[in-house]
């Protein structure tokens, strides 16, 4: 177990270093005049002294590797820069919007598991039947339909044609819990259905593989009913590897969140990022890229560790 | 409900009083597999019985249908692809084939227990040993978690696992192959079954461990006045432990006798060949091993007549056209061959 | 089941990979349906200039945002342009983009996978870490960030996709190479002194073709989704070019006015991606046991 963890941590560290370089390069690809143009709103661009000061402030005069190290050291210490568009501390923007996105993700994950696991399980147990075929085709559909279209269709059906849910908008939880949850249902559902498809497929193949194992036959030979065999003996070994799928689908969920937040007008990190991209607000873009990639890295790491804990073969030498 | 010790269907008779009576009576068993290459008759009319207090062996090469036979007794062959297509499996008078699912579940692990050949994969890797050994007691005797725990520790002690209480909390991957096999036996013993079916229990083990495992099984039979049906291809095991032996070839029983009879006076050319091919200590070390010509037949494409005739040194014309039937050469010795052969 | 012994028959893989694939597709219903969809849509895209009722850039300001009529089967957009025409031309955009993205991604990823898998060791480790790092970016976010850096437009979308999308190919190819590397006939080739490059070219690559084709199919689907997503946000195709994603954005803006406008573009995207996914999945299922080369 210790070895398992340490290898993973080592890999993670290497990846983080590569990531830092990547993000920096991407952000710096933004041509300087675009940055200046973006700042034209808040700063007097006609005065060359001001322009010089701003350039110095953003470190645009130093050689590139100095810029990288400066940026890195500031970032690590929590100074994520100031947004070009709003002039706000980027870190503060982040913290303000993080809980919103987190809530969206939490609900989406609940949807995903609630739909995906039973679907995969039933498919596996009723292998090669019509139901299996329908469910598995459904998963392909889930992956093929763009999330933004699914959102649009559902908004029309359930918010405009039949005004059950609000078509957009967000109410903070502390203000009005009920409205908050109702507003979250549709967006999180759309987000969840995509990963539900992937999850269902993995659950299905995992369960099928486990059911074919010898120890399942042993369980039957002990006189357990088929239901007990599945629930007590097959489920746990089958679901343990599925945990790693979360790592895989987390990335696509993050991407999906961008669209969902825009379409449903939810003031989360996704929306903030897209706005920043349009405005070429590169401190925010940088911070977003780091946040996204680190997040995915950490989730994958956590998932690997979780797997290690759950599977006794890994946990105990 | 507490762990009850009585397991037999009729609680008035004691097992020791019923030694010798027929426990398992298999009549004309037929099993078919549907595969991509067509329907395969893996088992073609097999009949044998097992009596209380005795150890019966089914011997044969890989592919002869012996494992299929063993698994079918408790209806453990998945359908598809395998189906029992004929015959009766009578256990204490009741046909296991016609039992409801609930009834056969009550027999499994309780009245009849199975020990499988792959100790590595037969145990659930994510459950503790203790939980798995105690499970039959929880299912069939309504034992509580604690009761099952204590009984499981006791059982592990019976099979000579040291420090059972500690090892109960271990997982299968922490045990060696031999220990795992002993655990499987402990698992089967819990409800004091009347019959244990052991499918190649020693194949995956070292020679030294093999002896231990077999001794354990024999001890079970003696102590509980139960019975053991052992499936194997290992003639040495058979010679030492079995009371009666059935030799299978291509889905049929070709010879059936008391163990000593089989070894001293084999009456089927296949049996003769098998016995001759076992290396002996009194042979010079450089002597070539005798072997049976040819390869085991393809179950989907069996020869006409006696399935063994292409490889048989004594085959006559009749063997090529007509399937021999099992006939008695003595009250305890049957064979299926047209040639009057003495080993 | 381990204890049921049925005589197994080993079949050495024979025939070229192409015939193997063709027969797999024919036998697998999913793959066949996918192929039909792909071919039909490709035809529509190719023949768009011939079959389109209108020019997609023609504005008819007297028929703005009209629903389906006899003249405009799918209605018009906010500038009076015929939706059907725009969708047909949008097909060209999507398919072309999908193919180019995949092509470039494959051109980068396959060699990397081959090198990592065949050479192994430290090179493999380093390449894999880099791959993992790139994988930490969801495709979309990467492309969005790049479009901020490089500017909007399809060219940049394709470029950005290639820059991150190679990871999928690299992984699959590497995995396959690792498998094939251990096969006896490769060892035999090595033992008889065949040079590494030759082994790779003549033996390893043909055996990795099958999963690569599956990956290509799936990647085109992903690329189309990404392109429509980026165009939906306004960072992909630039006006007046038509793209399914773009039309969907228009539809969303006017959802309450002409709800049906949003239906067709979404259906087109979904159908196309579905076709590629069906094909890829079906092919993968059909090839699965054969990937190991033996028939059980």
Name which residue leads in pLDDT, C105 or A61.
Answer: C105
Interface touch C2/B299, C-beta < 8 Å: no
Question: Phi then psi for C267, rounded to 5 degrees?
Answer: -60, -40
**Whole-angstrom Cα distance, residue B67 to residue B323?**
23
Interface touch B63/C5, C-beta < 8 Å: yes
Interface touch B78/C1, C-beta < 8 Å: yes
CB atoms within 10 A of CB B96: 23
Compute the average pLDDT of residues C216-241: 88
Q: What is the pLDDT of residues C134-144, one digit of tens each?
A: 877 777 788 88
Is A259's Cβ below 8 Å from some Cβ in C?
yes
Tell me the whole-structure pTM to 2 decimals. Answer: 0.78
Residue A37 has pLDDT above 70, yes or no: no
SS3 B335: strand
CB C139 within 8 A of CB C225: no
Residue from A204, A229, A200 nearest A128 by CA: A204
Compute the average pLDDT of residues A195-208: 88
Is C8's Cβ below 8 Å from some Cβ in B?
no
Of A113-127, B42-56, C182-196, C258-272, where does mean pLDDT reach its minimum? C182-196
What is the structure's pLDDT at C288?
Answer: 64
Of A55-64, B311-320, C171-180, C184-193, where does mean pLDDT reach its minimum? A55-64
| H helix or E strand, kind and range, residue A54 | helix A48-57
Interface touch C6/B77, C-beta < 8 Å: no
Name which residue leads in pLDDT, A168 or B250.
Answer: B250
Q: How far away is chain A from the Cα of B220, in angstroms, using its nearest Cα?
A: 18
Of A55-64, B58-67, C108-117, where does mean pLDDT reach its minimum? A55-64
**Whole-angstrom Cα distance, residue A255 to residue A258?**
5
Name which residue leads in pLDDT, A2 or B42.
Answer: B42
User: Using a CB-CB distance cutoff of 8 angstroms, which residues of chain A are in contact with residue C138?
Assistant: 251-252, 254-255, 292, 296
Of A98-102, B101-105, C10-14, where does mean pLDDT reach its minimum? C10-14
Which of A19-28, A117-126, C181-190 ranks highest by mean pLDDT?
A: A117-126
Structure tokens at B301: 């494409």
Interface touch A251/C1, C-beta < 8 Å: no
CB nearest A255 (choices: C135, C136, C141): C141
- pLDDT confidence band for A57 (50 / 70 / 90): low
**Whole-angstrom Cα distance, residue B113 to residue B110?**
6
| H helix or E strand, kind and range, residue B40 | strand B38-51
Interface of B with A in 170-189 (CB under 8 A): 171, 173-174, 184, 187
For chain C, the maximum distance between any two Cα atoms, rounded to a whole number of angstroms, is 78
Q: How far away is chain C from the Cα of B63, in angstroms, using its nearest Cα?
A: 5
Cα-based distances in Å from B217 to A62, B59, B187: 82, 17, 12
CB B83 within 8 A of CB B256: no
Structure tokens at C25: 């597709």
Residue A183 has pLDDT above 70, yes or no: yes
Residue C292 has pLDDT above 50, yes or no: no
Compute the average pLDDT of residues B196-225: 85
| H helix or E strand, kind and range, residue B229 | strand B227-232
Q: Which residue of C has its CA nearest to B296?
A: C7
User: Using a CB-CB distance cutoff of 8 angstroms, which residues of chain B are in contact with residue A218?
Assistant: 114, 116, 122-124, 184, 187
Residue B10 has pLDDT above 60, yes or no: no
The sheet that has B38-51: what strands, in order across it? B38-51, B22-35, B82-91, B94-95
- Alpha carbon A146 to its chain's center: 16
CB nearest C7 (choices: B117, B200, B298): B298
Burial string for C276-285 (b: 16+ CB within 10 Å, else e) reads bbbbbbbbbe
pLDDT cut 90: percent of chain A above it: 9
Structure tokens at B216: 């354990």
Q: Which residue of A has its CA nearest to C132?
A: A15
Q: How far away is chain A from the Cα of B316, in angstroms, using its nearest Cα?
A: 44
Q: What is the pLDDT of residues A208-242, one digit of tens each?
A: 889 888 999 999 999 999 999 999 999 888 888 88
CB nearest C233 (choices: A145, A251, A274): A274
Structure tokens at B41: 């008759």
Mean pLDDT over all residues of chain B?
85
CB nearest A148 (choices: C135, C136, C229): C229
CB atoms within 10 A of CB C59: 16
CB atoms within 10 A of CB C44: 17
Residue A29 has pLDDT above 80, yes or no: no
Compute the average pLDDT of residues A166-178: 77
Name which residue leads in pLDDT, A86 or C177.
Answer: C177
Residue from C17, C203, C222 nearest C105 by CA: C222
**Whole-angstrom Cα distance, residue C225 to residue C230?**
9
What is the structure's pLDDT at A45?
Answer: 59
Of A44-53, A167-176, C43-52, C159-168, where does mean pLDDT reach its minimum? A44-53
Interface touch C148/A277, C-beta < 8 Å: yes
- pLDDT confidence band for C223 (50 / 70 / 90): very high
Q: What is the pLDDT of residues C200-216, one digit of tens each?
A: 677 777 777 778 888 89
What is the structure's pLDDT at C191?
Answer: 80
Is A221's Cβ below 8 Å from some Cβ in B?
yes
What is the structure's pLDDT at C150?
Answer: 76
CB C111 within 8 A of CB C177: no
- pLDDT confidence band for C3 (50 / 70 / 90): very low
Cα-based distances in Å from C211 to B199, B235, C110, C134: 40, 48, 11, 21
Q: What is the pLDDT of residues A240-278, one digit of tens each?
A: 888 888 777 887 888 888 888 988 888 888 888 888 888
Q: What is the pLDDT of residues B115-165, one digit of tens each?
A: 988 878 899 998 999 999 999 999 998 889 999 999 999 999 888 888 888
Interface touch C255/A152, C-beta < 8 Å: yes
Residue A53 has pLDDT above 80, yes or no: no
pLDDT cut 70: percent of chain B above it: 95
Question: DSSP of C99-140, one letter per residue?
Answer: HHHHHHHHHHHHHHHHHHHHH-HHHHHHHHHHHHHHHTS-HH
Region label for C110, one of left (φ > 0), alpha (ψ between -120 and 50) or beta (otherwise):
alpha
What is the structure's pLDDT at B12?
Answer: 52
Residue from C11, C28, C15 nearest C206 by CA: C15
DSSP letter (8 states) at residue C4: -
Asked if the peptide bond before residue B80 counts as cis, ω within 30 degrees of 0, the response is yes
Dihedral angle of Cα B234, B237, B243, B246, to the nearest 10 degrees: 0
- pLDDT confidence band for B240 (50 / 70 / 90): confident
List, as own/partner pairs, every contact residues B48-51 make where C-beta atoms lie below 8 angstroms and the sequence separation is at least 24, other chains included.
Answer: B48/B246, B48/B253, B48/B256, B49/B22, B49/B23, B49/B24, B49/B25, B50/B22, B50/B23, B50/B24, B50/B195, B50/B227, B50/B229, B51/B19, B51/B20, B51/B21, B51/B22, B51/B23, B51/B227
Is A210's Cβ below 8 Å from some Cβ in B?
no
Residue from A224, A210, A243 nearest A311 by CA: A243
CB nearest B63 (choices: C1, C7, C9): C7
CB atoms within 10 A of CB A40: 11
Residue B272 has pLDDT above 90, yes or no: no
Name the β-bridge partners of A89.
A82
Cα-based distances in Å from C85 to A226, C53, C72, C80, C224: 57, 6, 9, 12, 19
Name which residue leads in pLDDT, B43 or C77.
Answer: B43
When computed from its CA atoms, the radius of gyration of chain A, rounded to whole angstroms, is: 24
ipTM of this model? Answer: 0.83
């Amino acid at each position: 177990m210790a070895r398992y963890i340490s290898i993973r941590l080592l890999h993670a560290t290497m990846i983080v270093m590569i990531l830092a370089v990547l993000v920096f390069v991407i952000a710096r690809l933004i041509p300087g005049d675009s940055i200046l143009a973006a700042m034209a709103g808040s700063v007097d661009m006609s005065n060359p002294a001001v322009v010089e000061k701003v350039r110095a402030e953003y470190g645009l005069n130093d050689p590139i590797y100095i810029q990288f190290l400066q940026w890195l050291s500031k970032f690590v210490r929590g100074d994520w820069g100031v947004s070009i568009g709003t002039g706000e501390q980027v870190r503060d923007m982040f913290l303000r919007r993080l809980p919103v996105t987190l809530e969206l993700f939490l609900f989406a994950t609940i949807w995903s598991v609630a739909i995906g696991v039973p679907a995969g399980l039933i498919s596996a147990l009723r292998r090669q039947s019509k139901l299996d075929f329908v469910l598995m085709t459904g998963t392909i559909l889930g992956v093929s339909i763009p999330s933004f279209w699914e959102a649009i269709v559902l908004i029309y059906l359930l918010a405009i044609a039949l005004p059950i849910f609000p078509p957009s908008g967000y109410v903070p939880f502390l203000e009005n819990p009920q409205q908050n949850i109702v507003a979250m249902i549709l967006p999180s559902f759309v987000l969840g259905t995509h990963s539900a498809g992937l999850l269902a497929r993995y659950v299905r193949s995992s369960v099928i593989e486990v059911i074919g194992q010898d120890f399942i036959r042993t369980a039957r030979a002990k006189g357990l009913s088929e239901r007990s065999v599945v629930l007590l003996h097959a489920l746990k070994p089958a679901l343990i590897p599925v945990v790693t799928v979360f790592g895989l689908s987390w990335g696509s969920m993050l991407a999906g969140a961008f669209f969902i937040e825009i379409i449903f007008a939810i003031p989360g990190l996704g929306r903030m990022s897209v706005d920043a991209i349009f405005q070429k607000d590169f401190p925010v873009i940088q911070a977003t890229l780091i946040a996204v990639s680190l997040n995915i890295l950490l989730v994958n790491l956590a998932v690997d560790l979780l797997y290690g804990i759950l599977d006794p073969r890994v946990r105990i030498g | 409900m507490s762990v009850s010790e009585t397991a037999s269907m009729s609680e008035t008779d004691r097992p020791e009083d019923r030694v010798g009576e027929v426990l398992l009576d298999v009549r004309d068993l037929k099993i078919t597999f549907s595969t991509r290459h067509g329907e395969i008759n893996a088992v073609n009319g097999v009949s044998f019985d097992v009596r209380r207090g005795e150890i019966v062996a089914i011997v044969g090469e890989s592919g002869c249908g012996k494992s299929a036979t063993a698994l079918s007794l408790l209806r453990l062959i998945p359908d598809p692809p395998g189906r029992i297509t004929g015959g009766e499996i009578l256990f204490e008078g009741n046909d296991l084939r016609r039992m409801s699912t609930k009834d056969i579940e009550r027999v499994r692990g309780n009245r009849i227990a199975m020990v499988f050949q792959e100790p590595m994969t037969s145990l659930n890797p994510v459950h503790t040993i203790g939980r798995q050994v105690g499970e039959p007691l929880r299912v069939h005797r309504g034992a509580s978690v604690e009761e099952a725990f204590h009984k499981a520790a006791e059982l592990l002690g019976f099979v000579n696992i040291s420090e059972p209480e500690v090892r109960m909390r271990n997982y299968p991957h922490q045990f060696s192959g031999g220990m795992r096999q002993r655990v499987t036996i402990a698992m089967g013993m819990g409800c004091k079954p009347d019959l244990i079916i052991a499918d190649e229990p020693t194949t995956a083990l070292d020679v030294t461990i093999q002896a231990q495992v077999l001794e354990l099984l024999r001890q079970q039979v003696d102590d509980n006045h139960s019975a053991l049906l052992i499936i194997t291809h290992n003639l040495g095991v058979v010679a030492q432990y079995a009371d009666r032996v059935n030799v299978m070839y291509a889905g049929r029983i070709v010879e059936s006798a008391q163990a000593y009879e089989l070894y001293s006076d084999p009456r089927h050319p296949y049996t003769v060949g098998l016995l001759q091919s076992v290396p002996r200590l009194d042979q010079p070390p450089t002597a070539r091993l005798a072997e049976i010509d040819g390869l085991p037949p393809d179950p989907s494409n069996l020869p006409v007549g006696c399935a063994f005739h292409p490889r048989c040194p004594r085959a006559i014309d009749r063997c090529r056209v007509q399937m021999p039937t099992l006939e008695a050469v003595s009250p305890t010795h049957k064979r299926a061959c047209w040639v009057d052969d003495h080993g | 089941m381990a204890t049921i012994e049925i005589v197994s028959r080993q079949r050495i893989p024979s025939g070229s990979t192409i015939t193997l694939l063709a027969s797999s597709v024919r036998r697998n219903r999913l793959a066949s349906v996918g192929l039909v969809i792909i071919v039909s849509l490709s035809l529509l895209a190719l023949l768009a200039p011939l079959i389109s009722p209108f020019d997609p850039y023609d504005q008819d300001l007297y028929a703005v945002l009209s629903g389906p009529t006899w003249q405009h089967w799918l209605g018009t957009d906010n500038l009076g342009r015929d939706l059907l025409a725009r969708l047909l031309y949008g097909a060209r955009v999507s398919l072309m983009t999908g193919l180019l993205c995949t092509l470039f991604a494959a051109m980068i990823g396959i060699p990397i996978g081959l090198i990592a898998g065949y050479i192994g060791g430290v090179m493999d480790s380093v390449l894999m870490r880099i791959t993992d790092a790139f994988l930490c970016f969801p495709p979309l976010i990467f492309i969005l960030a790049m479009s901020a850096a490089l500017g909007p437009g399809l060219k940049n979308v394709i470029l950005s996709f290639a820059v991150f999308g190679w990871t999928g190919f690299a992984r699959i190819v590497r995995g396959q190479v690792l498998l094939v590397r251990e096969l006896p006939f490769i060892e035999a080739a090595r033992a008889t002194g065949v040079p590494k490059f030759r082994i790779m070219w003549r033996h390893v690559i043909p055996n990795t073709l099958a999963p690569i084709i599956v990956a290509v199919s799936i990647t085109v689907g992903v690329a189309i989704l990404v392109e429509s997503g980026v165009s939906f946000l306004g960072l992909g195709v630039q006006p007046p070019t038509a793209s399914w994603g773009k039309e969907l954005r228009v539809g969303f803006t006017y959802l309450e006015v002409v709800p049906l406008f949003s239906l067709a573009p979404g259906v087109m995207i979904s159908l196309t991606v579905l076709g590629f996914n069906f094909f890829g999945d079906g092919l993968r299922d059909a090839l699965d046991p054969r990937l190991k080369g033996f028939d059980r």
